[in-house]
Structure 1
Amino acid sequence: MFATSPAESVHALDVSGLAVPEVTFWTITEGDVVLGCVALKEIEAGHGELKSMRTDAAARGRGLGARLLEHVLDEAARRGYRRLSLETGSQEFFRPARTLYAKYGFRECGPFAGYELDPNSIFMTLELEP
């Protein structure tokens, strides 16, 4: 993320940020090769945040992002979340991710959970059915 966004606008979780009780982390692999990852962070009861979703550049175009997102949506529903939110970059590099999120019903919103307005960030949210 540091290659595409200024340091103060990078909100990706590092290993220590992923290793906390409120975060669950999954990978998608092919053999021993990690092709993608995603995390779900509980912000508060009923509200989760999609974090650190990525697919390896060599594996893009295979639907892995959609599979990861669908997994998180299923898990959020299983947990009874009423809302799932995310922060992503506003740069062209992030357009495919924003398009994928919009396809699944995410809509732009204001900052949430301590985020602040940032021209390098776009905030999105999805209301989930109970």
Structure 2
Amino acid sequence: MTAEPTAPTRPTVPSAYPETIEIRQVRVSDPAAAPLLAGLDLEYRTRYGPNDELGRYPDAEFAPPGGAFLILVERGRTVAGGAFRRLDAVTAELKRIWTDSGQRRRGLGRLVVRALEEEAARQGYRRVYLTTGPRQPEAAGLYLRAGYRPLHDLSVPVETLHHLVFEKDLPARGGRGQDVRAPEVQDA
């Protein structure tokens, strides 16, 4: 007797967020991802000048089985999102984390990071790694509040660093995405 394949799981929105928010896993080429990519491109150019950051990785790296691209949609509009890709067998690298400039200060970035962590753990990753630029202090603050450990030298002036590097261990997961230890308490 052959087991039936299980449907892919979708991240769920914690109850603290409005019912109008939906988390969707999409492909980079999905039209619903376009606002996120356009917003990121503008953000990167505004803060760092001309660059090709969004062209550094093939779209396939942000798709299962090794990656994911998640968007938050509210009332039919993409308001936030992010992605991860495989860095190594146990490590997912978070990328493309963005919140619409008119939707910031609502906790949507924290929700994106949490959803990416949950999906990475479901895919079997045990660690998350990420970098952000020195001209994105709000991103660095988000990662610190979400329990990420800085891997860069904190005694060096941030403006002298090319990247700010962070990591976080994910809870161990058993088969079919089941936690095998108590979940960590996270900043809400």
Task: Say whether residues 1:17 and 2:58 are aligned partners.
Answer: yes
- In structure 2, the gaps of 5 or more residues are 1-43, 153-159, 173-188
- The match for 1:53 among 97, 113, 127 is 97
**Structure 1 position 25, deviation (Å):** 0.7
**Counterpart residue number, 1:114:** none
Higher relative contact order (CA 8 A, sep 6+): 1
- In structure 1, the gaps of 5 or more residues are 111-117
Report the residue type matching 1:126 in the other structure.
K
Q: Which runs of structure 2 are paired with 1:75-90 in the superposition (5 Å)?
A: 75-90=119-134
Contact 2:68 2:119 survives alignment (8 Å): no
Give CA-to-partner distance per residue, 1:30-52, whole Å, 9 cap, x none.
Answer: 12211011001111211100000
- The match for 2:163 among 116, 121, 127 is 121
Q: What is the CA RMSD across the aligned residues, in angstroms? A: 2.3
Q: Which moved more, 1:16-25 or 1:95-104?
A: 16-25
Give CA-to-partner distance per residue, 1:42-97, whole Å, 9 cap, x none.
Answer: 11211100000000000001111111111011112212212100010112xx1111
Secondary structure at the counterpart of residue 4 of structure 1: helix
Rounded Cα–Cα distance in structure 2 between residues aligned with 1:16 and 1:95:
24
Contact 1:42 1:49 survives alignment (8 Å): yes
Give CA-to-partner distance per residue, 1:13-43, whole Å, 9 cap, x none.
Answer: 3497334444311111112211011001111
Report the TM-score, using the length of structure 1 for normalisation: 0.79
Report the TM-score, using the length of structure 2 for normalisation: 0.56
Task: Say whether residues 1:2 and 2:45 are aligned partners.
Answer: yes
Q: How many residues align?
A: 119
Task: Say whether residues 1:32 and 2:76 are aligned partners.
Answer: yes
Report the residue type matching 2:46 in the other structure.
A
Contact 1:87 1:122 survives alignment (8 Å): yes
Rounded Cα–Cα distance in structure 1 between residues aligned with 2:104 and 2:139:
11
